[in-house]
């Protein structure tokens, strides 16, 4: 033993042994959860919700079913966690601002482009196909996706921007929320449908033009709406 190192004590040995044989550290638990979710994401998006069993996920993740159920009570809970993980991974890096540029139009265009980029990512498109194909047979699938809150998070961002930047919007938060929901639909729906195969996929230049033109149409309509408008 080198002079600079102390001989491990019995207490140290006992603590290490207990740690190896007892509960995992928080870091180990987080790594295990992420491994389960990575395996589940691959199987669910490849094989489908109905064909993916807890047994197959546990086997692929090299864990027992008991370990799985200690973290996820059932498949809907797992699906909710998978969707939340997908949404989290589509967020821009911390150094990329959600709002950029001067004026409401530029800020909406920047945010809309970020949202559209996430909506067109391969895994989100695969999730969309899964929901369309199987939510009719498995209502808990649609419920798990709805409860993940990804869409509402985007609506909240947009409505918050409208309330802060659009004159008079703060007097009617309900209208701002309704308008934000419509803007999200306008930005995402057609590009996503074309990416799913219903028409040729939009290229980068076309997507940029789509965002700018959608923002212009949306703001023209919003500013021109009658003052007694109610959703």
Task: Choose between 40 and 3: higher pLDDT.
Answer: 40
The torsion of the CA quartet 173, 85, 24, 5, rounded to 10 degrees, works out to -100
**What pTM does this model have?**
0.76
Tokens of 96: 């990329």
**Are residue 72 and residue 109 in the same domain, yes or no?**
no
**Are residue 219 and residue 123 in the same domain, yes or no?**
yes
Average pLDDT over residues 157-165: 91
**Are residue 134 and residue 207 in the same domain, yes or no?**
yes
Average pLDDT over residues 157-176: 84
Structurally, the chain folds into a number of domains equal to: 2
> Where is the domain boundary, 90, 116, 145?
90
Average pLDDT over residues 142-171: 83
Q: How confident is the model at residue 218 (pLDDT cuts 50, 70, 90)?
A: very high
**Are residue 112 and residue 180 in the same domain, yes or no?**
yes
Q: How confident is the model at residue 23 (pLDDT cuts 50, 70, 90)?
A: low
Contacts of 28 (CB under 8 A, 6+ apart): none
Whether residue 99 contacts residue 161, with contact meaning beta carbons closer than 8 Å, is answered with yes
**Are residue 125 and residue 197 in the same domain, yes or no?**
yes
Q: Which domain holds residue 66?
A: 22-90
Q: Is 96 part of a structural domain of the chain?
A: no
Q: How confident is the model at residue 226 (pLDDT cuts 50, 70, 90)?
A: low
> Where is the domain boundary, 42, 67, 90?
90
Q: Is 229 part of a structural domain of the chain?
A: no
Per-residue model confidence (pLDDT) at position 89: 85
Contacts of 129 (CB under 8 A, 6+ apart): 196
């Amino acid at each position: 033993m080198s002079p600079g190192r102390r001989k491990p004590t019995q207490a140290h040995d006992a603590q290490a042994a207990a740690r190896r044989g007892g509960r995992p550290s928080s870091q180990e638990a987080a790594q295990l959860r992420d491994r389960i979710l990575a395996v589940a994401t691959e199987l669910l998006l490849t094989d489908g919700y109905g064909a993916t069993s807890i047994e197959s996920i546990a086997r692929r993740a090299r864990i027992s079913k008991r370990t799985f159920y200690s973290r996820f009570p059932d498949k809907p809970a797992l699906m909710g966690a998978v969707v939340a993980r997908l949404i989290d991974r589509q967020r821009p890096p911390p150094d990329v601002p959600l709002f950029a540029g001067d004026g409401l139009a530029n800020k909406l265009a920047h945010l809309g482009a970020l949202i559209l980029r996430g909506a067109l990512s391969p895994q989100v498109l695969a999730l969309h196909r899964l929901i369309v194909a199987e939510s009719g047979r498995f209502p808990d699938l649609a419920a798990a996706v709805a409860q993940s809150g990804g869409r509402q998070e985007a609506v909240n961002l947009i409505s918050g921007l409208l309330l802060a930047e659009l004159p008079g919007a703060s007097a009617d938060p309900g209208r701002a929320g309704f308008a934000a929901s419509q803007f999200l639909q306008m930005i995402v729906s057609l590009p996503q449908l074309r990416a799913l195969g219903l028409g040729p996929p939009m290229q980068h230049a076309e997507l940029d033009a789509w965002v700018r033109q959608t923002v212009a149409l949306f703001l023209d309509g919003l500013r021109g709406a009658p003052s007694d408008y109610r959703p």
